[in-house]
A = this chain, B = another copy of it.
C-alpha cells in the first residue's frame, strides 16, 4: 500500500507548541506572576441564551419518537438555510437555497472543497496566512505561489495581472492581520479571477466583526463574484460556536469549470463523504438569526471589539504601528525597534508576563510582527495594556 507521498512535504509548525513550552517554563520559574494570554484564538464568552434555549428544545425533540430526527439532508435543513438566505438578503445578496451548504465549520470546508479541484492548479496565497491554506494544498501536491501582505499595501495585497494562478485565497477580515478589503479592492480580485478563469476561496469567518456599511461582509456584494467565488463562513466567532461546530459554504450555480458545476460536485462530495451537522446544532445555529439571538451575539461581539479598542488605543498612545482591531478580533502590530517576532515574544513574556503570537508563525512577512487577540476578559485585557504601556512609554 502506497501512502499519499505529499504528506512528506508538510512542514511541522512548532509555533503553538513552542509558545506553550515557553509559557510553562516562565510560569514555573515565576509562580508569583500572573500571566495574561493575548494569544487566544478562541472565544471565551458562553453561548447566548437564545442558542441555549434552542439547544434544550431540540434535545427534547430528540427524546420523543414523534419528534426524533434521524438522518437529515447532508447539505443542511431548510430552516437554517432559509435563515442564512435572509441574512444575505439584508445585504442585497440573493442566493438560491441550494447554493447554501451547512457545514461543521469553515476549517472542514476549506479543506474538503479541495477534493473538487485538480491537483495541477496553481494556488495563490497571501503571506502572512492562516497556515491551513498552505497545508491542505501541500497535502494534495498543488503548486503554491505567495503574494506579500505588507505595510506598503496596508496588508491588503491586490492582484498582479501578469501573474497566472487558478485558485486564490482571500480572508477578509484577515487572520492574522485583521485587515479588511473594501469593495473597490475586492472588485479588482473578482476582475482578476474572471480574467484568469480562476476560483476565489473567500474565507469570511470574521465577517460579523464588520459593522459598517462601508465595507463588504460578503464577496457576493461585488458584481460578478457569483461567477468566480466560493464563500466559506462560520458561526465560530460570530456566535461562539468554536466548540459547538457549525458553519456554511456558498457555492453559486454560476461556477462551472470544464463543463462541471462546482455546486453539483460539492453536493455529490457531501452526500458521499458526509452526513450533515447534528440536528440540535442546526437548531442552535438558526436561533442565532432570531431577533433575540442577533441582539445577544452583537453584545458579545461588542465585548470583544471593546477589548480590541483598548488594545488599539494603547498602541496608538505608544506610537506602535498596527493593523486590524477595528473590524476584527485580531491586532497585528509591528514589533517596536524592528526586533524579531520571537524576540518580542520573549520580551513581553519575561518583562510583563504577557503572551501573544509571534508573526513568524504565519509566514515570512510576519518576521517582525506580532498578533494579539481581543478574546480575553475586559479586566485582563486592560491590565495587559497597562503593563504594555508602562513598559514602552
Residues of B within 8 A of A265 (CB): 3-4, 7
Q: Tell me, in angstroms, the Cα distance from A3 to B199 when the chains sit together.
A: 10
Say yes or no: B46 contacts A65, CB within 8 Å: yes
Binary CB contact string for chain A from 255 to 277 against chain B (1 if under 8 A, 0 otherwise): 00110101001001100111111
A45 at interface by CB-CB < 8 Å = yes
In the complex, what residues of B have CB within 8 A of residue A110's CB? 273
Interface residues of A in 119-163 (CB under 8 A from B): 119-121, 132, 135-136, 139
Q: Are A108 and B273 in contact (CB under 8 A)?
A: yes
Copies per assembly: 2
- Chain B residue numbers with a CB within 8 Å of A64 are 46
Per the bound structure, the CA–CA distance linking A107 and B272 in Å amounts to 8
Complex contacts, A7 vs chain B, CB 8 Å: 116, 260, 265, 268
Asked whether, in the complex, the Cβ of B68 is within 8 Å of the Cβ of A245, the reply is: no
Residues of B within 8 A of A52 (CB): 59-60, 62-63
Cα distance A323–B218 when bound, in Å? Answer: 54
- Tell me which residues across on chain B come within 8 A of A4, comparing CB atoms: 115-119, 265
| Interface residues of A, count at CB 8 A | 74
Binds B, one of A26-34, A69-77, A330-338: A69-77
CB distance from A102 to the nearest CB of B (A): 12
Q: Mark A1-41, 1 if CB is under 8 A from B, else 0.
A: 11111011010000000000000000000000000000000
Interchain CB contact (< 8 A) of A42 among B71, B244, B272:
B71
User: When the two chains form their complex, are residues B2 and A258 in contact, meaning their CB atoms are under 8 A apart?
Assistant: yes
Q: Decide if A72 touches B243 in the complex (CB within 8 Å).
A: yes
CB of A198 within 8 Å of the partner chain: yes
Are the CB atoms of A275 and B108 closer together than 8 Å?
Answer: yes
Task: List the one stretch of A84-92, A278-286, A357-365 in contact with chain B.
Answer: A278-286
**B272, A136: Cβ atoms under 8 Å?**
yes
Task: Encode contact with B along A85-105: 1 for CB under 8 Å, 0 otherwise.
Answer: 000000000000000000011
Contact B44–A65 (Cβ < 8 Å):
yes
Distance in Å: Cβ of A117 to nearest Cβ of chain B? 6
A117 touches B3 (CB 8 A): yes
A252 vs chain B, min Cβ distance (A): 14
Cβ of A2 and Cβ of B166 under 8 Å apart? yes
By the criterion CB–CB under 8 Å, are A262 and B104 in contact?
Answer: no
Given A2-B117, A111-B273, A273-B111, the answer on whether A70 and B139 have CB atoms closer than 8 Å is: no
Binding site for B on A (CB under 8 A): 1-5, 7-8, 10, 42-47, 49, 52, 55-56, 59-60, 62-65, 68-72, 104-105, 107-108, 110-112, 115-121, 132, 135-136, 139, 166-167, 197-199, 240, 242-245, 257-258, 260, 262, 265, 268-269, 272-281
Can you show 11 pairs from A to B with CB atoms below 8 A apart? A1-B198, A5-B118, A42-B70, A44-B65, A52-B59, A55-B59, A70-B242, A108-B275, A136-B272, A245-B276, A245-B277
